[in-house]
Amino acid sequence: MIAALLLGVAVPTAVDAERAFARDAQRIGQWTAFRKYADSTAVMFTPQAVWAQEFLKGRKDPPAALKWSPAESYVSCDGRTAINKGPWTGTGGKAHGYFTTVWMRKGRVWKWVYDGGDSLNTPMAARARPVVRRASCAGGKAVRAVARRAVGAAQVAGKSPGDAGVGRSADGTLSYQWKVGPKGARHFQAQLWTGRQYQTVLEQQIAAPAQ
């Protein structure tokens, strides 16, 4: 009976994880929440790429945390990797922009491995119900062949993240890559498997910070 009840409990989605992350930022502090949900290989940008756990270690929480919510979620066929995008606001609503978070799930636990985004002149619209798009599970042989030819796989912790990185879901149906320039300009791209080919679902160019 207990086993049946446990099996009936829904596995949390990346949208659920993002919302819990955002709630905890308000409840326990922004950087405390970032540390709580970050994987050991998580990367963020300052504007150069840094290992998140090293950057966040001992960092004091700001008086007021950013507020954010997922508006779009792109999910691998196996449901264990997802990329969320949505609006953020700060400084009492005077600052705004968008975020992009790459999540990976082990068992029932989600951890983020990439956090990026940018500021915007015009606020991005929030959605009460995020648009969720899942990769096709069709064409298994084809996607495995493409995945074998892909450059790199999951991020692997080293001395530094370097100036570029790639990652993909275990089943190869969702992939992403990023590159940061010497002055902090950054490019991020994500692709989703349609059953016959990869389709670019996110293409982001983040300008270098003003000097």
Mean predicted lDDT score pLDDT of the chain: 90
Q: How many CB atoms lie within 10 A of CB 7?
A: 7
What span, in angstroms and rounded, lies between the C-alpha atoms of 113 and 67? 20
- Which residues are within 8 A (CB) of 86 and not within 5 positions of it... i.e. 6 or more apart? 18, 68, 69, 70, 71, 72, 98, 99, 124, 126, 127, 130
Instruction: Kindly state the percentage of the chain with pLDDT values over 90.
Output: 81
What pLDDT was estimated at residue 74? 98
pLDDT, tens only, 152-191: 344 444 556 889 999 999 999 999 999 999 999 999 999 9
pLDDT, tens only, 98-146: 999 999 999 999 999 999 999 999 999 999 999 999 999 998 666 666 6
In the predicted model, what is the mean pLDDT of residues 77-83? Answer: 97
**Structure-derived torsion over alpha carbons of residues 98, 99, 100, 106, reported in degrees to the nearest 10:** -150
Q: Phi-psi region for residue 118, left (φ > 0), alpha (ψ -120 to 50) or beta?
A: beta
Which residues of 52-208 form beta strands (DSSP E)?
A: 67-68, 72-75, 81-90, 95-106, 109-119, 131-134, 164-168, 174-180, 186-193, 198-206
What pLDDT was estimated at residue 210? 84
Contact 81, 196 (CB under 8 A): no
Domain chopping of the chain, boundaries: 11-206
What CATH fold (topology level) applies to the domain 11-206? Nuclear Transport Factor 2; Chain: A, (3.10.450)
In the predicted model, what is the mean pLDDT of residues 62-78? Answer: 97
Distances (CA, A) of 100 to 73, 138, 158, 163, 166: 10, 27, 23, 18, 15
What pLDDT was estimated at residue 149? 54
What pLDDT was estimated at residue 142? 63
